[in-house]
Structure 1
Amino acid sequence: MMRWMIIALSFLLNGCSTQLSDYPPQGQPSFDLQRYFNGNLTAWGIVEDYAGKLTRRFCVDIRGEWEGNRGTLHETFYYADGEEQVRIWHLNVDDQGVVTGSAADVIGTASGQAQGHVFNWQYTLSVPIDGENWEFAIDDWMYQMDDNRLMNRSYMKKWGITVASISIFFDKTQPLRECRSS
């Protein structure tokens, strides 16, 4: 019985989720992944559990490089607890603006698209927890604030239920700030 209640709750919660079409197409500034993630930038973030409790803080040094519609994002995460993590995204933007990507800890292909000042990106992430790899669905929302700043909210889900949320603030005026020293 409990299993069916969880499944029903999962469908109910997913039915209330935000869609990219909920945002106006004319939102400014217009989000352009290739323009924003080109060169060096720094980001700061937090991870909160399902109850909103802060569980981790981090800083990220990011370097983006593009050749036409193909790009690479090299992200180095520096967690407050001393852990370091590297993720290298290999990205492609098609003629309709659909972005696809892959990284070593991403299962399958990530896919996303922008509308106005908003970009929605979805993928499955493999996360090591207590010696095992767990797969989580990531629903990633980026909001371009101005030419230099971007807010990011990501929802980490397991069986359709949000188990954690990640908030990240990107700033191009602080390129490669060397997070280790901050």
Structure 2
Amino acid sequence: MDKFIRRFCILLLNLAISSCSTELSDYERVEKPFDIKKYFNGEVTAWGMIQSYTNKVERRFCVEIIGSWQGNKGTLAETFYFDDGEISYRNWQLIQQPEGHYLGTAEDVSGMAIGKHQGFAFQFQYQLELSLEGKTYEMTMDDWMYQLDQYRVINKTSMSKFGIKVAEITLFFDKELPATSCSV
């Protein structure tokens, strides 16, 4: 009887965990789907925070993005301004694939990033090479963007190592004119 109860509890736990995952197919098509080529063309400013696995806010930042596209190829030049004074850069090179999927590379990304969209949502998955205290760690990034309107996008990113979430990053993008910038 004890084995039965243990197996039943494990089954319930597995069902609970699997029912909590989000799939891109959960988002229905909408009249005007999220078009990252259109949204990330020109200047965009975003504000964000990094939270540890305990939900404590560890860092806050602002990022200025300049996007440009030629056909199906795009560049997103990002400048991050952290609350502790650090400034860092990332330059994404993106290629739009059939059906609106995207492939991307950046200086601190290992391999190829893969992006997909459905309706108002866009999912971007990649391996980030994160440098901390002189060491580099490869982190799995599961990046979700949700378009609220033509000017605003919310981004939630789960950062994990060996399948265990170690941090969460939240950003709020704003493209409404007049464009604001991060203050240095």
Aligned-pair RMSD on alpha carbons?
1.9
The structure-2 alpha-carbon separation of the partners of 1:85 and 1:19, relative to structure 1 and needing over 3 Å to count, comes to same
Asked if residue 122 in structure 1 is aligned to residue 125 in structure 2, the reply is yes
The residue that corresponds to 1:171 in the other structure is 174
The residue that corresponds to 1:23 in the other structure is 27
The whole-number CA distance in structure 1 between the counterparts of 2:67 and 2:173 is 13
Q: Which range is displaced more, 38-47 or 168-177?
A: 168-177
TM-score, normalising length: structure 2? 0.87
Maintained 8 Å contact 1:41/1:175: no
Alignment partner of 2:33: what SS? coil
Amino acid at match of 1:107: S
Where does 1:73-92 land on structure 2 (aligned, <5 Å)? 73-92=76-95
Q: CA deviation at 1:174?
A: 5.4
Alignment partner of 2:114: what SS? strand
The whole-number CA distance in structure 1 between the counterparts of 2:63 and 2:177 is 11
The residue that corresponds to 1:135 in the other structure is 138
Q: CA deviation at 1:144?
A: 0.3
The residue that corresponds to 1:35 in the other structure is 38
The whole-number CA distance in structure 1 between the counterparts of 2:141 and 2:110 is 11
Q: Which has the larger radius of gyration?
A: 2
The residue that corresponds to 1:100 in the other structure is 103
Residue identity over aligned pairs, in percent, reads: 47
Q: CA deviation at 1:177?
A: 3.0
Larger relative contact order (Cα-Cα within 8 Å, sequence gap ≥ 6): 1
The whole-number CA distance in structure 2 between the counterparts of 1:142 and 1:87 is 18
When the two structures are aligned, how many residues end up with a matched partner?
Answer: 171
Structure 1 unaligned residues grouped into runs of 5+:
1-7
Structure 2 unaligned residues grouped into runs of 5+:
1-9
Q: Deviations over 1:107-129 (max 9, x none)?
A: 00000111000001100000001
Amino acid at match of 1:170: F
